[in-house]
Amino acid sequence: MIIGVCKIILSIPESFSLKDKRRIKRSIVEKVRNKFNVSISEIEAQDSLKELVLGISYISTDSNQIYRVFSDVIKLVEKEKDGFIVDYEINIL
């Protein structure tokens, strides 16, 4: 069993309240969960209006599969019009 963990940091310049941020986060999380079989949640910067940090985990028997899934997740998140990716990191445990 191989565990993959991905951290994505997004900038959301159009967020002017925590309500805006929650709406954007909910949209991204639902899309990622529905398309991929991953666990995803906001993990840092909960009080920041302009930054969203998502943690994603995925379990597989093949590390290449984990990289493919995370790559596809990152591509999906990049297409979001409400924010853009500042940084991301992938770790295999």
Q: Using the predicted structure, report yes or no on whether residue 14 has a pLDDT greater than 90.
A: no
Give the count of domains, the chain.
1
CATH of the domain at 59: 3.30.70.1120
* Encoded tokens for 1: 């069993």
Q: For residue 48, what are its two tokens?
A: 């920041």
Residue 42 in tokens: 């906001």
Give the domain extent around 51. Answer: 2-92
pLDDT in tens, 20-69: 899 999 999 999 999 998 999 999 988 888 999 999 999 999 999 999 99
Reported confidence tier of residue 80, pLDDT bands at 50, 70, 90:
confident
Residue 15 has pLDDT above 90, yes or no: no
Query: Dihedral (C-alpha) 69, 71, 77, 81: value to the nearest 10 degrees?
Result: -140
CA–CA distance, 44 with 51 (Å, rounded to integer): 9
pLDDT at res. 2: 94
- pTM to 2 decimals? 0.89
Buried b (16+ CB within 10 A) or exposed e, 25-57: beebbebbeeeeebebebeeeeeeeebbbbebb
